[in-house]
Amino acid sequence: MINKKILAVFLLLALPQLLRAESQWVLAQSTLTFHVSHPLHETEGVSHAAKGKGLCHAGQCNFLIAVPVKSFDSGNSNRDLHMLEVLRGAQFPMVIVRLRLPEEALTSATLHADLEIEFAGQTAEYKQVPFQRVVEGNQTRATGTIPLKLSDFKIPLPSLLAMAIKNEVPVRVDTIWGSQ
């Protein structure tokens, strides 16, 4: 009888800790699309090469996502080579994104995440970037747009025919995450 009471008390005390256990996430699939606007044309480049992991602990979730700069394809190899040169892709071959949000946000249809992005040797922060969250079976899809600006990373604006591209290069994010 005493053993059952001790077990019941133990379970009642341990239950909150079990509910707060760590959750881990792995990036299963990604499509990242940047959009460049020039007075004469519009261009997009796409990468499916991002890798990422996330860990939620003590009410806070931290995600790390990395994508090779050279993995973006605009459909024009000359433009892509020039992009690598402008972005100093040989010296800084990865774009690193750190994402922070409260764990309770993972139950919401819209996530508002704080992002820290390392790109071309510089770091910039973007606060409260909205992402739409949809649960699909045992996976979670997160989509949104990062309002990236080249000036945030001290990247000179490339030009064609003496006309520079726009500073704003939004990046559409479409990711599928699996929890472990």
Give the CB-side neighbour count of residue 101, counting CA atoms within 13 A.
Answer: 22
Residue 8 located in a structural domain: no
Residue 5 located in a structural domain: no
pTM for this structure? 0.83
Residue 171 located in a structural domain: yes
Residue 16 located in a structural domain: no
Residue 11 located in a structural domain: no
Whole-Å CA distances, 119 to 25, 51, 64, 79, 113: 23, 16, 14, 19, 18
pLDDT band for 158, please (50, 70, 90 cuts). Answer: confident
- Domain of 56 in residue numbering reads as 21-179
Between CA 11 and CA 5 the distance in angstroms is 10
Task: Specify the pLDDT at position 136.
Answer: 87
Residue 4 located in a structural domain: no
Between CA 133 and CA 110 the distance in angstroms is 6
Distance of CA 163 to the CA centre of its chain: 31
Q: What number is the average pLDDT over the span 60-78?
A: 95
Residue 6 located in a structural domain: no
The total number of structural domains in the chain stands at: 1
Task: Specify the pLDDT at position 12.
Answer: 41
Q: What number is the average pLDDT over the span 90-95?
A: 96
**Which amino acid, residue 115?**
L
CB 141 within 8 A of CB 123: no
Residue 95 located in a structural domain: yes
CB 61 within 8 A of CB 85: no
Residue 139 sits in a domain whose CATH number is 2.40.128.110
SS3 assignment, position 172: strand
- For the cut 50, the answer to whether the pLDDT of residue 13 exceeds it is no
CB 129 within 8 A of CB 142: no
pLDDT band for 2, please (50, 70, 90 cuts). Answer: low
